[in-house]
Structure 1
Amino acid sequence: MPELLFSLDSAKRFTDQEKVGHNRWHPDIPPVATVRPGQSFRVHCREWFDGAIHNDDSAEDIRDAPLTRVHALSGPFAVEGAEPGDLLMVDILDMGPIPQESGPLAGQGWGYTGIFPTGNGGGFLTEQFPDAYKAVWDFSGRKATSRHIPGVSFTGIAHPGLMGTAPSASLLATWNRREGALIATAPDRVPPLALPPEPQDAILGRLTGADFDRVAAEAARTAPPRENGGNQDIKNFTVGSRVFYPVYVPGANLSLGDLHFSQGDGEITFCGAIEMGGFVDLHVDLIKNGMQTYGVAENAIFIPGDTPPQFSRWLAFSGISVTLDGEQRYLDSQLAYQRACLHAIDYLTRFGYQPEQAYLLLGAAPIEGRLSGVVDIPNSCATVYLPTEIFDFDIRPSASGPTRIDPGSGAPKATMS
């Protein structure tokens, strides 16, 4: 096993650990450890809400999830000799849930998927699904099943939803400027267009006093992907992946977290993956002056992992860029993907699933989302591929009609706050 450089005690909160990570991006957050090019090491990760979501049959915790706390990131890890302009090469050697533990933390044998309410983040289909719902998933090896979504079982593609290098001061200022300008176009929008710096609940490693206050006021939230990588939520970014990150600060300062046991393309419910804590084994190296050599001045490139589940049969749904009200949009691929997902959800209800169960399933199962046509004006076409092998029954259309399943008690719904 590689050397463990960032350890988490499951009995303690993220902020009470021997080494404390962070939940904001800023160049002045000090590293928790320094590694050498060519070194392999192990990192423990806490699920993104640090234990705020529970293994129960209620969704009040999803409704009230404390978004100012996320994400609980492990790191930063400085890399000896890394300088701005280099490319940091990171290999994901291994990862999984919290090893050999069962208990109340996500990752201890279980994980969760949530539909976030519109007032607390929303999701890809928040106009159709404005309320909070939750599904809890049990792990058996690499398989996931849920008492809240019966009739399905699938192999997960475990991956870190979030990994990236620290921004430079100038890049951080660019983020805050452009996202602030976007927020100003509709400052009262729910959910908001972007998340500005928020000192409340900021976790900044070992910073204290005036340094803490200054960084907390400037640091960027970790919710979106940006030039440094960040919260990209790429389901194929799994074991066997090699990623090349731009380096913006001396040492690169690599951080990671937001582990997922499984996820569909798009993580469409916002908390759309099966969230968990666990471990990741990494290997790092450097390509000196790699940003200029390969033209990777922003946004990481990566070689996908070699451990996807081997599905061979799919049922695909398509959508076009026309709203539910019949309004024509010009080559709106996002809208087309929304319509494809809604078609899949409506189809699954014909078998007995509640719409919310189907929506949660599309977020958690390893569906394939594709932009299938982006040039044929005025309609984009997007498709969502649903692996038929994950179901205990045949979901393909037939002359005999759909099999009706017992949806059980359904996905827990939170009462309105």
Structure 2
Amino acid sequence: MPENLFPLDSSKPFTEQEKLGHNRWHPEIPPVISVKPGDSFRVDCREWFDGAIKNDDSAEDILNAPLHEVHKLTGPIRVEGAKPGDLLVVDILDVGPIPMEEGPLAGQGWGYTGIFAKHNGGGFLTEQYPDAYKAVWDFTGQVATSRHIPGVAFEGIIHPGLMGTAPSAELLARWNKREGDLIATDPHRVPPLALPPEPNGAILGGVAEADFDRIASEGARTAPPRENGGNQDIKNLSKGSRVFYPVFVDGGNLSVGDLHFSQGDGEITFCGAIEMSGFIELRVDVIKNGMETYGVSENAIFMPGKVEPRFSEWLAFSGTSVTLEGEQKYLDSQLAYQRACLHAIDYLKKFGYSGEQAYLLLGAAPIEGRFSGVVDIPNSCATVYLPTAIFDFDVRPSASGPHQVKQGIPAPRASA
């Protein structure tokens, strides 16, 4: 097994560990680990809320989740010899929940999915589902089941939701300006259009005390994906994947975290994956001048792994770019995917699930989302593929009518 260069003690908060990671992007956050091209190594990762979400039948923790404190990232990891303009090659050798532990921390045999309240993050369908809900999932090997969503079991495609390199000072300034300009178009929107730098709750690794306030006020939030990769939430970025990241600073300064036991395409509830702590094993290399050589200047590219479950039968739902009120939109693929998800939820409700249970399931299970038609004016078509094998009953339409699931503990809803 590769050496663990960033061990985490499950009994201690992230900020009290021997090595301190970070939760903002900034070029001046110093690396906490240094490796060489060709090295293989292991690091531990803490789930994005650092234990704030509990294994219980309440969603008050989701309602009050401290978004200003996420994500808890392992890193930065310096790769010797990496220079701006290079491509950093990252192989995911293995990834999983906390080994051999059971306990109160997500990743110790369980994980969670949340629907976030509209005023605290929202989600893809926040207008239809504005309240906070939670589902807890138990892990048996690579299979997840939930007391809050009966009748389903599925193998997870375990992956890091977030991995990326540090931005240069120039790139960071561009991020902050363009996102600030967007916020200014509707500064009071709920949920907000973007998340500006927030000093409160900033964790900056080994930044010197004299520089802390300045860097905390400049550091970009880790919530969105950007040119450096970041929080892309790609479910197929699993064991066996190879990722090519642009390098913007000396050493690349790679960081990783936000591990997911499983996720559907889109992570639609915002906390749509099954969130957990765990470990990841990586191997790194460098392609000199790779950004120019391969035209990779503002994005990461990757080769997906081959470990995901192979489903042979699907039930697919389509949606078009027409609003729920009947207003026609022009080739709006985002809206079309929302409508496809809502159609899938409406269908699952006929089997006895609540809308919130179905929404949570679509976020956590390995569904596939596809933009199926983006050229036939005025309607885009998007589709959601639901694997039928995850249900312990026949979920297909039939003359006998929909099976009714036997409810146990409903998905908990927050009080306000």
Partner of 1:335: 335
Distance in 2, Cα, partners of 1:175 & 1:282: 28
Distance in structure 2 (CA, Å) of the matches to 1:403 and 1:101? 37
Q: Which residue of 2 aligns with 1:155?
A: 155
How far apart in 2 are the matches of 1:357 and 1:312?
24
* Match runs of 1:178-257 below 5 Å: 178-257=178-257
Alignment of 1:104-143 (within 5 A): 104-143=104-143
Q: Determine whether 1:311 maps to 2:286.
A: no
Letter in 1 for 2:185: T
Q: Equivalents in 2 of 1:330, 1:64: separation in Å?
A: 37
- 1:5-154 equivalence runs, <5 A: 5-154=5-154
Offset at residue 297 of structure 1 (A): 0.7
Counterpart of 1:275? 275
Tell me how far apart the structure 2 counterparts of residues 29 and 207 of structure 1 sit (CA, whole Å).
6
Q: For 2:206 and 2:394, locate their aligned partners in 1 and report how far apart those are by CA, in whole Å.
A: 54
The percentage of counterpart residues that share the same residue type is 78
1:173-220 CA distance string (max 9 Å, x none): 000000000000000000000000000000000223221111001000
Q: CA deviation at 1:133?
A: 0.1
Q: Could you tell me how far apart the structure 2 residues matched to 1:7 and 1:308 are? A: 27
For residue 99 of structure 1, report the CA deviation from its aligned partner. Answer: 0.3
User: What is aligned with 1:391?
Assistant: 391
Secondary structure of the corresponding residue to residue 372 of structure 1: strand
Write the deviation string for residues 19-74 of structure 1: whole angstroms up to 9, x where unpaired.
00000000000101100000000010000000000000000000000001100000
Corresponding position of 1:409: 409
Contact 1:166 1:253 in 2 (8 A): yes
Stretches of structure 2 that go unaligned for 5 or more consecutive residues are: none
CA distance in 2, matches of 1:374, 1:145: 36
Whole-Å separation in 2 of the counterparts to 1:72 and 1:230: 13
Deviations 1:94-142 (A, max 9, x none): 0100000000000000000000000000000000000000000000000
- TM-score for both structures, normalised by structure 2: 1.00
Q: CA deviation at 1:397?
A: 0.4
Q: Give the whole-Å Cα distance in 2 for the aligned partners of 1:174 and 1:404.
A: 52
What is the CA distance between 1:248 and its match in structure 2? 0.1
Tell me the secondary structure at the aligned position of residue 267 of structure 1.
Answer: coil
Q: Separation in 2 of the partners of 1:196 and 1:398?
A: 50
Which of 203-212 and 113-122 deviates more? 203-212
- 1: CA distance between counterparts of 2:328 and 2:131? 28
Aligned alpha-carbon RMSD (Å): 0.5
Whole-Å Cα distance in 2 between the matches of residues 31 and 188 of structure 1?
A: 36
Determine helix, strand or coil for the equivalent of 1:166: coil
Is contact 1:96–1:278 with CA below 8 Å preserved after alignment?
yes
What whole-Å deviation, never above 9, does each CA across 1:236-292 have from its counterpart, x for those lacking one?
000000000000000000000000000000000000000000000000000000000
Whether the 8 Å CA contact 1:354–1:407 is kept in 2: the answer is: no
1:324 corresponds to: 324
Specify the SS of the correspondent of 1:90.
strand
> How far apart are 1:298 and its partner, in Å?
1.1
Runs of 4+ in 1 over 4 A off after TM superposition: none
**2:369 corresponds to which residue?**
369
In structure 1, how many angstroms separate the alpha carbons of the residues matched to 2:27 and 2:396? 52
TM-superposed CA distance for 1:405, in Å, is 1.4
Q: Secondary structure at the match of 1:151?
A: strand
The TM-score normalised by the length of structure 1 is 0.99
Give the aligned length. Answer: 416
Which stretch shows the higher mean deviation, 395-404 or 172-181?
A: 395-404
Q: CA deviation at 1:408?
A: 2.2
Maintained 8 Å contact 1:37/1:80:
yes
